[in-house]
Structures are given as structure tokens and as C-alpha cells.
Chains A and B, each alone.
Chain A
Amino acid sequence: MSDRIIVNTTINGEAMEFMADSRDSLLEALRDRLGLTGAKEGCNNGNCGACTVLMDGRIVNSCCVLVAETEGCEITTVEGLEKDGQLSVLQQSFLENAALQCGICTPGFLVSATALLDFNPHPTEHEIRYWLAGNLCRCTGYDKIVRAVQDASERMAGVKS
């Protein structure tokens, strides 16, 4: 039998208390219980990164985290990247650089790249590709995604406007 549990966690800056099952992954809880459908199920086994969210500042595959493990943690999903209705510099850069086609990998890429630029504001192309290696894209061939990240990093450094 599974257990009914109460989870207390902060999601996109908001303290939340909700019911879940002990068997739920964080991905399932976000999508099916909390209506946060930004994170996607691509593989459900930690390979594709479509489910990437931030947990206490680090990227995780939410399909490989039990929601029970998030007790007391801070979660950020793609929905939490915009501030006061304004897209983040990275989100803006993805749009302007056409860094998506079908868009299903995009939430995962945005969360992963946000964490990258937080950790390393001036990554080399090599560093960008290796950091994002766990996010798979079937449409774009990655090139425009990498350029979007580079573009965002330059804008955030004030090199470009």
C-alpha cells in the first residue's frame, strides 16, 4: 500500500502544503496535483531532462525525485522564471534566437540554463554543452539553444543591450 502524505515545500517562492502519495514523483505531484504542467514527462527515467526543475538551487530530474523528498525544500519550475509578468533575460533570448520548435524540451532547458548562468555567468560553449548534456532536444539540433544561452549571458553581463 502507498501512504497518503502531507508535503510542505516552497514552490516558485510560495509556501505550499498539499496532499500526495508516498509513491508520487515530484514530476507527478507538480503536474497532476498542483497544475504546474511546465515540467514535462519525456522519458521518466532521468535521461531526457524534460522534467528538469530546481531543488534548493540545483537542477534535478523531477521524475527521479519522490515528492516526499522535497519536504522543507525550495522548488523552482519554469513557471517561476518570470518576474512580475516579465520573462527572464534567458526566456527572452530563447524567443529571439528561435531556440525552440515544438517546445517540449524548452522548460527543461530554461531551468537548466538558468542554473548554469547562476553558477557560471560566463560559460564557454564547451561548458554550456556539457552542463546541458542532460537535456535532449529532437527538433533544433541544439545550436540555437546554445546561442540563446550565450546571448543571454552577454546581455546579463551588460555587454549587449
Chain B
Amino acid sequence: MQDVKYVKPKTLQEAVTILKDNGPTARVLAGGTDIIVMARERRRETSLFVDIKAIPEMNGIHFDESAGLTIGAATPLYLCYRDQMMNQRFPAIVDSSSLIGGTAIQGRATLVGNLCNSGPAGDTIPTLMVMEGVAHILGPNGERDVDVVDFCTGPGRNVLELGEIIVNLHFPTPRPNSSGRFLRFIPRNEMDIAVVNCATNITLDANNVVTHARMAIGAVAATPLFVAAAGESLVGKPLTDETIAAAANACRDAATPIDDMRGSIRQRKHLSYVLAERTIRDAVHRIRGEATEWH
């Protein structure tokens, strides 16, 4: 690696000050599985690693029914998927967390790191979008909240300004009779980058009518896409093969993929439909306490 310094602040304020004072080549270091590689390959010019793992507010998973879920920015993926509450109440986040990389990556990498990397194919981002995630940000000008839906602005780019850092992600308590699913298509069985990925969060009432629905797809545009039209097409109607097909078509229509070494436009448009349909059906299986169909 080229010359780079390392510092490990103990408090949030210290971290913000260091980031602001050292300019854009000072990089937040949590899991390091993206940033260390990018620094070494000079894809992100780096002069200083700011290790945030010692900062208390950045760590931990906290849930209660009245306040919702808060996940600290430095919380590694394996803590998400080994948590019983997360498996019961936030299974779509468990889906994303357990699909990224492999075991060694999951012991270090973080949801927030994946979000801040802001890759078009980021495997957490569609899920964080449909679960109504909000990024709680601290910077030199104070605190602000940004919906995950509005966070990414382009490949590898997001709304964070110089000196700003995500402290944690917040999610509302899931509604009764709701669940979610994240799925990803890759050519192998594991370790790949998504050709297309998709997340759905859906709520049903007692008559199988959809009261809330959110869908998002990734790897088919410059940023992960929140497809408002897909969710809206489901709401207020009973869930049928026709309504599911309409929502899946809305996802396919919203997708604007490119041809690249991972897939063609044609394949990606097709996969957008297929994964959209599967995530809706699997979310409903989960609401009913049934096994999901695809792994």
C-alpha cells in the first residue's frame, strides 16, 4: 500500500473533526473490506484511515417496539444475521447480510459501509430502502437525517459532505402482518457481485389486501432504484397473480441496465421481473409463517 496514516478516535466529535481537517482523502474505516482494497488500488485516493470501531454510538443493534430498530454504523454483518430478533422481525436485512461476500468478509463488513460505498449493485441498499431506513448523519454543521432512498447519487457517490459520517441507521418497527425479502441473481453460488438484486417489503390485512408495499431493485441503473410505482401498484388491492405481475412489470420498466461482463440488458430486464415476483411471493410466505421458496 502507498503511504497512509491511521488514527482511531474515541468519540464522534473527534472523528468528525479529523475527517474535516484532513480533507476528502481521509477515509472512514469500519470493516475495511472495500476501502482498504480501494486505497491500495488507488481507486479512492487515501491519506488517512479513520478507524471508527471504538466509538460507542457506532456499535450495537438496539430494538424496541416503540422506538424501532437502530443499527450502529460499525456493526458487522455477522452480528445482524446471528441476532434472533433480526431473524424474526427484519428477515430481509438478514438476507442481505448473509449474502454479501463470504464468512470472512461478513465478520468485518458493515451495512453502513456497503451503503456509503454506494455501488449500483450494493447488496444492502435495496433492502435498506424498502425497510424505510434513515441514515443518521453527524458532520461539522451538526446532525441531519437522510432517507436511504435519497442517499446514493451516482456510482460510488452519495450525499455525504466533507467531514460527515453516518452514525447509525434507523428503521421503524415492522407493522403487523408484514415481512420482506431480498434476493440476488449471481452466476455462481456465492461470492459474486449481483447481476440484478431486488428487495420487497409488504403488509397484508386480514383479507389478503395489501396495505403497504415497497420495492427496490439494484444493479440495473447508476444507483439502486426505489421503484415507487411498483409498491403503489399493489396497495389497496388483493394480492393476485395479476397484481404481482403488474408490480414485477413496473420493476422491469424502471430498470435501465447496461450490457457488461456480468450480464446483458435483455437478461437484466428479465431478471428484474423474475426477482421482483419472487421477493413478493417470498415476503408473503414469511407473513404466513411458511418457508420461502428460493435461496
Contact with A along B107-151 (1 / 0, CB 8 A): 110000000000000000000000000000000000000000000
A115-B78 Cα distance, complex, nearest whole Å: 14
Interchain CB contact (< 8 A) of B3 among A23, A49, A134: A23
- Report whether over half of chain A's contact residues are helix, strand or loop; otherwise say mixed: mixed
The interface size bin for chain A is: 35 or more
Check B190–A65 contact: CB distance below 8 A: no
Tell me, yes or no, whether A69 is within 8 Å of chain B by CB: yes
Tell me whether A134 and B104 are in contact in the complex, defined as CB-CB below 8 angstroms, given that A45-B41, A46-B33, A69-B51 are known contacts.
yes
Considering the complex, give the chain B residue whose CB is closest to the CB of A111.
B104
Considering the complex, give the chain B residue whose CB is closest to the CB of A135.
B102
Check A23–B4 contact: CB distance below 8 A: yes
Tell which of A54-62, A90-98, A152-160 binds the partner: A54-62
Enumerate chain B residues within 8 angstroms of A22, measured Cβ to Cβ. 4-6, 49
Tell me, yes or no, whether B174 is within 8 Å of chain A by CB: no
A2-B46 Cα distance, complex, nearest whole Å: 11
Enumerate chain A residues within 8 angstroms of B40, measured Cβ to Cβ. 44-45
Tell me, yes or no, whether A133 is within 8 Å of chain B by CB: yes
Interchain CB contact (< 8 A) of A46 among B4, B8, B37: B37
Considering the complex, give the chain B residue whose CB is closest to the CB of A62.
B104
Tell me whether A112 and B103 are in contact in the complex, defined as CB-CB below 8 angstroms, given that A44-B40, A45-B41 are known contacts.
yes
Check A61–B4 contact: CB distance below 8 A: no
Check A61–B5 contact: CB distance below 8 A: no
A132-B103 Cα distance, complex, nearest whole Å: 7
Tell me whether A133 and B36 are in contact in the complex, defined as CB-CB below 8 angstroms, given that A2-B3, A2-B4, A68-B6 are known contacts.
no
Enumerate chain B residues within 8 angstroms of A68, measured Cβ to Cβ. 6, 8, 49, 51
Q: Nearest Cβ in chain B — how far from A150, in angstroms?
A: 18
Q: Which of B85-111 contact A (CB under 8 A)?
A: 101-105, 107-108
A112-B101 Cα distance, complex, nearest whole Å: 14
The 6 A-B residue pairs with the shortest CB-CB distance, nearest first, are A134-B102, A133-B190, A22-B6, A2-B3, A58-B107, A68-B6
Q: B residues engaging A (CB < 8 A)?
A: 1-6, 8, 29, 31-33, 36-37, 40-41, 49, 51, 53, 78, 101-105, 107-108, 189-191
| 14 extra A-B contacts, CB within 8 A, seeds A45-B41, A46-B104, A68-B8 | A1-B3, A2-B3, A2-B4, A3-B6, A47-B191, A59-B103, A59-B104, A60-B104, A61-B105, A65-B108, A69-B6, A69-B51, A130-B103, A133-B190
